[in-house]
A and B are shown apart, each in its own frame.
Chain A
Amino acid sequence: MDLNTTAFNIDELITSYIDNQISDPALRKQVEDMIAGDARLNSKYKTELLTKNLLQSRIKQAELSDQIYLKITSSINTIVEQHKQSYNSEYSVSEYRDNYWRYLVEMISAPLRIGKVPVPRYAFAIFILFIAVPAFFIMNSKESKIKNPYVLAGTEKSIMVQAVNEFHNVLDGKCKVQYKSSNAAEVQKYVNDNANFKAYVPNIDNYSLTGCMLNEYNGRKLAHLIYISGDDIIYIYQTNMDAIIKNELDLPEQVRDEIIAAKYYMCDEVDDINCTMTLWFKDNVVCASITTMPKQDMYNTFTSFIK
């Protein structure tokens, strides 16, 4: 280091000398010579050295207490434990998730051998899909056979809905004939006596009367007649027209208008098996027949007994 510098730099060199921070022996010797040969520098050296020694002797080293050491290490341990728990839970969730997806992918893509031909497992899923989807549409298409708007929109008060439901109860065997007789007059008398309205019990060509059932809806008596011919069945629902006037039962206004105008209202697509429904008034009685016959056949039958 060049010693031909300012006093400012020489002072700092003395500082380095005091702190034993001059590693170059030659420079160190030069500084020592300067201190020894210059009273002013010597004074500076001594006063600075005294200051340093004073600090070292008067300011005691602070002891690190066990308490603060334990406080710090326990705080760090707490953080470590929290991180461990967090890491473990995150790892286990992610590990589970990764393993699950890996397992799923492997399971789906692993081929099955049918004979000598390897077939991916997902091929079965696709095959089932091709079966299930058309089946679903077929099932739905059955339900879509109910297209009659009055049946579709009808409530439980609806005569049309009640007639359809009761007919299916008869078909399913849930509703048993209460009064068995093939004699129309006897059945009519039974209904008259027990239902308090004058029922209409026609004789239908090629069909034999099996009897009738009676029940009530909102205190209103209902009569149900059953006619059978082989596998075919004609069911007739009857009640007093007074029930409609008093709004105890519903019959759509459009249907009523058509009955008045055409003497009857006939429709199909009223249930899943595409039965035919016919409605008409006979004196003060509302009649609703349901049959498994096609609409045209029912029309022919109906016109044969309705007079």
Chain B
Amino acid sequence: MKLLNNYALRMTGDQLEADDLLQDTYMRAFRFFHKFEKGTNCKAWLFRIMKNCYINKYRKNKKEPSKVDYEDVQNFYDSIRDELVDPNDLEHKVFSNLLDDDVMNALNSLQDDYKTVVILCDLESLSYEEIAEFLDVPIGTVRSRLHRGRKILQRKLSDYAKSKGFAVKTKI
């Protein structure tokens, strides 16, 4: 329940909405428990229910479905893929000057599919195999989304720092 609670909070960004999402997930899981296949991963099954609840309810309430436009993401990623930043500058000039909220906002600004794998891997410490099972996607997709998600996040964090006057040199 703790993992789902964390995921709900990261995805919604609001404690009350996260509570509702968690409750909906468990209620739905209980009602449809007969559909759970014995011997399969119950945690993954619960996670998929939460993901569907999130898509069906939370996004409906927002009335602005957050769809991943892979072409846009690909273009953006391609533009930053070969960007190199000095790790020392990144650590001392960028990350050290960011507030926790900046980090949270950067994470929340990721597209849902990227945000999900970053949360599950970096914050929940799940393996690629577990994430693949949770999301019902190949492991390669998990790896790819994770790499791109982190790269985009790094760029966003650099932009935050830049907006605060802590710019770092990029080497292409």
Question: Least Cβ distance of B115 to chain A in Å?
Answer: 11
The contact size tier of chain A is 35 or more
Question: Least Cβ distance of A22 to chain B in Å?
Answer: 10
- Whether a CB of chain B sits under 8 angstroms from the CB of A43 is yes
Contacts A12-B147, A72-B23, A75-B27 given; does A46 touch B103 at CB 8 Å: no
Pick from A59-67, A96-104, A114-122, A262-270 the stretch touching chain B: A59-67
Smallest Cβ-Cβ distance to A79: which chain B residue:
B30
- Whether a CB of chain B sits under 8 angstroms from the CB of A189 is no
Q: Assess whether A15 is in contact with B150, with CB atoms less than 8 Å apart.
A: yes
- Whether a CB of chain B sits under 8 angstroms from the CB of A50 is yes
Q: How far is the CA of A23 from the CA of B59 in the complex (A)?
A: 38
41-67 of chain A: CB within 8 A of chain B: 43-44, 46-48, 50-52, 54-56, 58-62, 64-65
Contact partner of B2 (CB less than 8 A), chosen from A46, A64, A76, is: A64
- List, in ascending order, chain A residues with CB within 8 A of B22's CB: 68, 72
- List, in ascending order, chain B residues with CB within 8 A of A56's CB: 122-123
Contact partner of B90 (CB less than 8 A), chosen from A8, A11, A47, A59, is: A47
Q: Assess whether A72 is in contact with B26, with CB atoms less than 8 Å apart.
A: yes
- List, in ascending order, chain A residues with CB within 8 A of B68's CB: none
66-107 of chain B: CB within 8 A of chain A: 81-82, 84-87, 90-91, 95, 98, 100, 103-104, 107
- Whether a CB of chain B sits under 8 angstroms from the CB of A19 is yes
Q: Assess whether A59 is in contact with B86, with CB atoms less than 8 Å apart.
A: no
Pick from B36-44, B48-56, B151-159 the stretch touching chain A: B151-159
Q: Assess whether A59 is in contact with B85, with CB atoms less than 8 Å apart.
A: no
7-46 of chain B: CB within 8 A of chain A: 9-10, 15, 18-19, 22-23, 26-27, 30-31
Contact partner of A50 (CB less than 8 A), chosen from B87, B100, B118, B143, is: B87
Q: How far is the CA of A75 from the CA of B81 in the complex (A)?
A: 48
Question: Least Cβ distance of A289 to chain B in Å?
Answer: 86
113-172 of chain B: CB within 8 A of chain A: 118, 121-123, 127-128, 143-144, 146-147, 150-151, 153-154, 157
- List, in ascending order, chain A residues with CB within 8 A of B118's CB: 55
Q: How far is the CA of A209 from the CA of B142 in the complex (A)?
A: 122
Q: How far is the CA of A78 from the CA of B128 in the complex (A)?
A: 37
- List, in ascending order, chain A residues with CB within 8 A of B86's CB: 43
- Whether a CB of chain B sits under 8 angstroms from the CB of A30 is no
Contact partner of A76 (CB less than 8 A), chosen from B27, B98, B103, B144, is: B27
- List, in ascending order, chain A residues with CB within 8 A of B128's CB: 16, 19, 21
Taking Cβ atoms with an 8 Å cutoff, the residues of A that contact B are: 7-8, 11-12, 14-16, 19, 21, 40, 43-44, 46-48, 50-52, 54-56, 58-62, 64-65, 68-69, 71-72, 75-76, 79
Taking Cβ atoms with an 8 Å cutoff, the residues of B that contact A are: 1-2, 5-6, 9-10, 15, 18-19, 22-23, 26-27, 30-31, 81-82, 84-87, 90-91, 95, 98, 100, 103-104, 107, 118, 121-123, 127-128, 143-144, 146-147, 150-151, 153-154, 157
Apart from A21-B127, A58-B98, what 11 extra A-B contacts exist at CB < 8 Å?
A43-B84, A47-B85, A48-B150, A51-B153, A55-B123, A55-B153, A56-B123, A62-B5, A62-B15, A62-B18, A69-B1
